[in-house]
Amino acid sequence: MTIQEEKRLLRKTIREAEVELPDAYWAQTSGAICARLAAMPEYLSARTVFCFVGTGREIDTRTFLENALHDGKRLCVPLCLRMGVMELRQIDAMSRLAPGAYGIPEPTRETPLIGTDEVDFAVIPCLSCSHSGLRLGKGGGFYDRFLLEYRGTAILVCPERLVRDSIPMEPHDRSVPRVLTETGLYENGLPNSSGILDRTPDSL
């Protein structure tokens, strides 16, 4: 079996697993991850923040996006131009988002364009990943291209129940060594003990 075939098979397996996860788990997981993102020192010190807009069976990032706006961050989100190509566009309110070509809430082309090198803190989605940061995306290559150029702090977010020990990787695939799940932060595969969990509300 080729690596591409392994990836297709794993994507099918993960999508089946996504459907089986209850809504309450997604809500609790999204809440915990958003709270932990907002407590990270790298986020607190960041001027420009980039984050995907979660839809469907993804981490719901709306709380984090709203917090970033409330905190006065320069916030940018993806605008998909065509398969595999996206731009980073600044928004100043959640009302700036509307369903785009792929059904994902997106900003308009009238919103300010932000360069990749201007971003200090980036939140990256995945279908699945390993605790060491090997990433399985949806296959469009949007974030592999972004990560190829990006040099700031990147955090890969994933529900713990969708983390897998082994992720097939091709040469063009980019890993993210910092992984955040609802159970905590992992750096290069090891649990981080920097105190981030202590700053997360006990209710989460």
Using alpha carbons only, give the angle 141, 20, 99 rounded to the nearest 5 degrees.
45
Q: Which amino acid is at 89?
A: R
The pLDDT of residue 194: 61
Contacts 24+ apart (CB under 8 A), 28-31: 28/182, 28/204, 29/59, 29/159, 29/160, 29/181, 29/182, 30/54, 30/59, 30/60, 30/61, 30/63, 31/63, 31/204
Closest CA to 132 of 174, 172, 175, 194: 175
- CATH code at 3-183: 3.40.50.10420
Residue with tokens 């060594």: 177
pLDDT at 192: 85
Amino acid letter at 97? L
Q: How does pLDDT run along the chain (204 residues), one tens digit per residue?
A: 899 999 999 999 999 999 999 999 999 999 999 999 999 999 999 999 999 999 888 999 999 999 999 999 999 999 998 887 899 999 999 999 999 877 789 998 899 999 999 999 999 999 999 999 999 999 888 999 999 999 999 999 999 999 999 999 999 999 999 999 999 999 999 998 664 444 343 333
Measured CA to CA, the distance from residue 189 to residue 68 in angstroms comes to 27
For residues 141 and 130, the answer to whether their CB atoms sit within 8 Å is no
Domains of the chain: which residue ranges? Answer: 3-183
- Distance between CA atoms of residues 178 and 191, nearest Å: 10
